[in-house]
């Protein structure tokens, strides 16, 4: 990231005041200089115009008077009711400092105003590149990614091959991902992958993000290659140096699992007995392969990808149950055999729901342990857990028979619960954490 420390004071295209060593005309009073500001009502903002005085006296000897140039920064006057109520000196440093203060205070509209004013008033200032970068970040916070993309591209054009260019490429790739311009994000991350000045910790982000771009482009081969390059680099460098965080390694492992997860979900059961057998074997293989990669992602212990992986494991077992319960009944069975088949199938695959519920329960516990809050996967986990418990209560836990009901009402029998099934998903108190943010 471009450092945000203050740069030394500079002077740009400020207006000049020329004086002469010879006699000067009488300067106008301050009331005369501000008379134009008092003519209007409401707040008026206007620039401090330069004053030019050319002096000269009659003399018998004609000579060119020596000149002294005094530079003055522009100023902004704020007037109300014809009276000046406030004025500010406008120079690059003061504008940059004020913009930074508003940015840190999360007053992004005001920060945008000051960065834009600096770039307009001082287009050749040494603060230019830094201000463009910070203005682009401000637009990101305002969710105006179109403007941030323009600014990052401008930095890349003006500062090719520099550190500023590299940082802008990182942010530009992320902006393309957010706006779902995946071919452009893949192009940007490929450019970063070829740079020699990218450290290993940053290269993990590049390769994982490149894989994510290809994943959304439905290019499975290129996506898996980028994700595996991420993991090879991670395991190679983690024993040599501190890599900052393991976010992108866990992400790469997770998305390799997603590739198999997607194949598992895409395969549908076909009515023919032999084809159905092949479909079942294929889906089971892809489910277990995806689960293995999700478990590897969990072992890296990044909180975000732990809860994401546990949710996907539980959801795969739920999906397998739904696919099998709605699979076509084999054609060779008659009506009575089809009923028996459906009952036996329902009994056999009950274990899939149990596995799904177990994964979802572990996910909520992991979220509590890691302090993960307001995560989309946790919200989905709570919804799925409630839905599956209601399904088991409805489809598998039978109520008492009519005879048992009469005995209970007569006080001859005490009702016993076959299994306690909560009707609402538990909500845990979650501790706040700071998620890993690179730039």
Residue 397 pLDDT grade (very low, low, confident, very high; cuts 50, 70, 90): confident
What pLDDT was estimated at residue 245? 72
What is the architecture, at CATH level 2, of domain 91-179? Alpha Horseshoe (1.25)
pLDDT in tens, 127-166: 999 999 999 999 999 999 999 999 999 999 999 989 999 9
In the block, which residue shows the tokens 């993991």? 231
Least confident of 305-314, 365-374, 412-421: 412-421
Least confident of 208-212, 341-345, 391-395: 391-395
Mean pLDDT for the stretch of residues 412-438:
41
What pLDDT was estimated at residue 423? 40
User: Which carries the bigger pLDDT value, residue 63 or residue 245?
Assistant: 245
pLDDT(368) > 90 = yes
Least confident of 41-50, 291-300, 308-317, 357-366: 41-50
pLDDT(337) > 80 = yes
Instruction: Single out the residue of 97, 98, 49 nearest to residue 72, CA to CA.
Output: 49
Burial state string for 247-272 with b = 16 or more CB within 10 A and e = fewer than 16: bbbbbbbbbbbbbbbebbbeeebeee
- Residue 12, Cβ neighbours under 10 Å: how many? 17
pLDDT in tens, 181-240: 999 999 999 999 999 999 998 999 999 999 999 999 999 999 999 999 999 999 998 877
pLDDT(69) > 80 = no
Tell me where in the chain the CATH 1.25.40.10 domain(s) lie.
91-179
pLDDT(277) > 50 = yes
What pLDDT was estimated at residue 224? 98
Contact 215, 267 (CB under 8 A): no
Alpha carbon separation from 155 to 6, 111, 147, 150, 257 (Å, rounded): 19, 19, 13, 9, 37
pLDDT(56) > 80 = no
What pLDDT was estimated at residue 12? 37
- Taking the CA atoms of the chain, what radius of gyration do you get in angstroms? 35
User: Which carries the bigger pLDDT value, residue 430 or residue 188?
Assistant: 188
Contact 169, 209 (CB under 8 A): no
**pLDDT mean across residues, the chain:** 79
- CA angle, residues 261, 265, 268, in degrees to nearest 5: 150
pLDDT(57) > 80 = no
What pLDDT was estimated at residue 13? 39
Rank 40-44, 380-384, 406-410 by mean pLDDT and report only the highest. 380-384
How far is CA 79 from its chain centroid? 42
CA distance 7 to 162: 18
What pLDDT was estimated at residue 32? 44
CA distance 233 to 211: 14
Backbone angles phi and psi of 53, in degrees to 5 = -120, 125
Residue 10 pLDDT grade (very low, low, confident, very high; cuts 50, 70, 90): very low
User: Which carries the bigger pLDDT value, residue 19 or residue 245?
Assistant: 245
| pTM of model > 0.85 | no
Residue 66 pLDDT grade (very low, low, confident, very high; cuts 50, 70, 90): low
With 0-12 / 13-18 / 19 or more C-beta atoms within 10 angstroms meaning exposed / middle / buried, residue 77 is middle
How far is CA 380 from its chain centroid? 19
């Amino acid at each position: 990231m471009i450092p945000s420390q203050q740069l030394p004071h500079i002077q740009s295209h400020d207006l000049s005041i020329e004086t002469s060593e010879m006699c000067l005309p009488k300067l106008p009073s301050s009331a005369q200089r501000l008379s134009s500001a008092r003519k209007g009502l409401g707040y008026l903002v206007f620039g401090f115009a330069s004053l030019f005085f050319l002096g000269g006296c009659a003399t018998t000897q004609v000579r060119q008077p020596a000149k002294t140039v005094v530079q003055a920064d522009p100023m902004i006057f704020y007037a109300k009711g014809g009276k000046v109520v406030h004025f500010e000196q406008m120079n690059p440093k003061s504008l940059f400092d004020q913009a930074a203060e508003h940015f840190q205070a999360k007053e992004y509209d005001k920060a945008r105003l000051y960065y834009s004013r600096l770039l307009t008033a001082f287009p050749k200032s040494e603060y230019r590149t830094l201000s463009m970068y910070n203005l682009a970040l401000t637009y990101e916070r305002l969710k105006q990614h179109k403007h941030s993309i323009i600014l990052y591209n401008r930095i890349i054009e003006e500062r090719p091959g520099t550190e500023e260019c590299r940082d802008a490429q990182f942010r530009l790739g992320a902006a393309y991902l957010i706006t779902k311009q995946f071919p452009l994000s893949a192009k940007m991350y490929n450019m970063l992958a070829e740079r020699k000045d990218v450290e290993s910790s940053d290269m993990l982000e590049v390769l994982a993000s490149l894989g994510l771009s290809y994943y959304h482009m439905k290019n499975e081969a290129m996506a898996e290659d980028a994700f595996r390059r991420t993991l090879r680099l991670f395991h190679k460098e983690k024993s040599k140096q501190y890599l900052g965080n393991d976010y992108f390694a866990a992400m790469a492992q997770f998305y390799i699992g997603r590739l198999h997860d997607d194949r598992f979900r895409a395969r549908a059961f076909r009515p023919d007995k032999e084809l159905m057998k092949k479909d079942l074997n294929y889906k089971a293989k892809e489910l277990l392969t995806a689960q293995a990669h999700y478990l590897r992602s969990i072992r890296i212990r990044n909180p975000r990808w732990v809860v994401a992986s546990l949710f996907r494991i539980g959801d795969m077992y739920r999906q397998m149950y739904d696919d099998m319960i709605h699979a076509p009944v084999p054609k060779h069975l008659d009506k009575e055999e089809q009923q028996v088949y459906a009952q036996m199938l329902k009994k056999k695959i009950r274990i899939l729901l149990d596995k799904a519920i177990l994964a979802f329960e572990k996910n909520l516990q992991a979220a509590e342990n890691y302090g993960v809050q307001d995560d989309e996967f946790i919200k989905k986990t709570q919804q799925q857990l409630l839905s599956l418990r209601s399904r088991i209560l409805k489809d598998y836990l039978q109520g008492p028979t009519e005879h048992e009901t009469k005995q209970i009402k007569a006080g001859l029998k005490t009702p016993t619960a076959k299994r306690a099934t909560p009707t609402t998903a538990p909500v845990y108190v979650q501790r706040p954490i700071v998620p890993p943010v690179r730039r």
